[in-house]
Each structure stands twice: as C-alpha cells, then as structure tokens.
Amino acid sequence: MPDSPHFSRVCGGTEPSRLDVLFVHGLTGDPVSTWTSEPTQEYWPTWLCESLKGISIYALGYPASIFGKWAKKEMTLHERAVNMLEYLAADGIGSNPIALVCHSLGGILAKEMLRTSNECKDEGWKAISTQTRLAVFMATPHKGASLASVVKFMIPRLASTHLDILTNDSGYLTNLNQSYRELATASDIATVSYYEKYKIKGASIIVHEDSADPGVGTLRPVAVDADHISICKPASRTDIIYVSLCRHLRSVLKKCPVLSEEVPLNSFSAEDYTTSSESDRRDLLQKLIDAGREHEYQKINALQNRFAQRYYRLGLHTEAKSQSDAVLSAVEQRFITHVYGNKICKGATDDEIASALQTHVIDPLCSGKGNEYLSPTAVLQALYFLTEQCHVQWDAP
C-alpha cells in the first residue's frame, strides 16, 4: 500500500487515445496488487490495451489509511479527493473522455472526486466530471451498513464507535450517493456495478446486491463468482468481470469522437501561406514584445527562418508544398482553438500556455496517423512561421 499519492500510465499510446481508463483501488489495496490476476500474477489492466484500440490505462494510488481516519470523523476523504484531482489535472487528464474502474471503497473516493469536480470552478478539476463517461464499481458499498462491514473487516482494530458515521444512511454516505445519481443522470455517465457471491474467509459476504447498487442507470448489479478481494482479480480474459468491462468500454468508445489526430494532415484544406495575413501587421519582434516574450526573439526567429527557407524553396505547385501547407493549417487550427482561445485570451500563465501547446498542438500532430515525418521542432518552426506571417499572435486582444 503506497504511503504517498501515486498516479502512473500503465499502457496505451501506440495511437491517439480516445478514452482514458482510470483504475482506483480500495481500502488496504494498492495500484498494483489490487489489479493483479491471482492465478497468473498478470497485471490484467494491460489486457485492455491489447483488446481495445484507442484507450490509455492509468492507475491511481493513495494512502488507503484515509478511510480509517474518515471513520474516526477526521473526514480526510474530501481532502484526498482534492489531492487526487490536482494530480489528474496536472497530468492533463480531462482532455479525453474518462472511464473510472473502482474496487470497494475506491468507488466512494471516486464519487467524492466527481462531486468535488462538479462543484468547483477550476477548469482542470472541472474537466474530470464533465469528461467522465463511465463509472464501474466492483463491490463498492454505496450504503452505510455494508460500508461499515468493509472497514470493520479490513481494519478490525478500529473501535466500533468510529463506525457510527458509516452506518448513518441519512448522513454523508446517502448525500454522496444522491450527488452521484444526479450527476450521472445529468451528464449521462453510464454506471455498471458488480457484487460478490462468495463469503470471504472468516467473514460473511461483505457487499450484498442491495448495497452494491448505486441506484442509477438501467443496468442491474451483476453477480460475480468471487469474494470481496478476488472480485477485481479476473483469472482469465473469459471471466465475467473482464468480458463485461470490455463490453462497456467498447460502448463508450463508440460515442467518443474520432480525434483530429487520427486524420492525415493532407486532408486539411490549407490556404496560401506564402503571403502574410492582413489581420495583424506587426512584425515578429513586436508581437513577442507585446506578449512579454522578447527575450526569446533570437531563438524563435531562427526557427521560423529555417521553416521559411525550406518552404519557399518548394515552389508554388508541388506535393511537398501542399504537405507543408497542410502542416501549417493544422498547427494554426489547433493553436487558435486550444492555446490562443482557451489559454492566452483567458490570462493563463506561461506554464499553462506551454503545457497546452505541448498537449494540444505538438504531441497530437507528431503522433497522428500519417504524420510520422513531423518532429516537435518542425511543429514549432511552423508555428513561428505562422506568427511571422501574421496568422497567429501570442498576446490577448
């Protein structure tokens, strides 16, 4: 079990991601052992990258002892939700649709994260709830009695007086689940839940069907031939947990837009960039001065000059020039949409602008199908050539 927050990419990235799948472990679990198949010791989330195209898999980890503190009314669950939201936002999660896969009390943390995200004004945090398309709960106790049973089984030393908060269905837990139901209905978040059918050693069934049901959506909770611990550890790719998860992820993928990263650059209809735009007649140096970036002029001018020299040598009617025009058109469209409109015009910091440039312009244009010839430097050369030619600017109007 990690002593500090953990967030890592597990697999994906061979092609542009259309759906980010986040795995959230439960009490006394961790981001590795929770999702390790018991018979084969394989880390089964990696199977998804082999079975489904267009997804990326991530694992979240946190000190699971927060649930013990929560049961003692220290109420650190909200603080951990805030902490994890900042981790996700800092890593760019929220730019793609999201699926959450949760085990046990990891589902409670996920619901608190969604509620906090939905109620906040921070753009990065807000994206987590607005982009969530699927929530999968494996033996998550949505009601108080079962929740107390989980904590009592996992942390037997916890005094019974500290479990009162967990058995109060008219309090926090009920309010949290109501918040999730309202959000899932309003945002069309598909919800899937599973519950165990086997007793765990030395105890009864921990999460029964009634408690495993969050009460939202059209799907009934699905029974699984497993106990509370093994329910998240499918033995093979034919187990119900795995095949069912694949089915629901495929359903979400069908609704995820095909990203423009997957469109070859030669499909863009580009204008003639050999002439400067009339919209902004400032020279390159003045644009950078107005944007507070004059100290970068020498480097930026060298980059745009290298692109310009190559570009003008291509002539007016060659296939190579058409390809360069397509690059310029793609860079211009992405920069204006994701960087200029969403960041520069809204007063974002230099670090936020640089991050958006990397995430929404450089990375996708260098990894899209048919764009293998592009490098990050080539994208920057094209961008600064567009700046020189007055097609883009770096300061707000």
In this structure, the dihedral spanned by the alpha carbons of residues 182, 183, 189 and 193, taken in order and rounded to 10 degrees, is -60
pLDDT for position 118:
93
- Say which CATH architecture domain 6-255 belongs to: 3-Layer(aba) Sandwich (3.40)
DSSP 232: G
| Residue 339 neighbours by CB under 8 Å, 6+ apart | 353, 356, 357, 360, 361
Where do the domains of the chain lie?
6-255, 262-388
Question: Residue 3: CA atoms inside 13 Å, Cβ hemisphere, count?
Answer: 0
3 has pLDDT over 60:
no
* Percent of the residues in the chain that have a pLDDT greater than 70, as a whole number: 77
By DSSP bridging, strand 6-11 and strand 132-138 are unpaired
Backbone φ, ψ for residue 101 (5° rounding): -120, 115
Ranked by mean pLDDT, the top range of 47-61, 80-94, 155-169, 365-379 is 47-61
pTM: 0.63
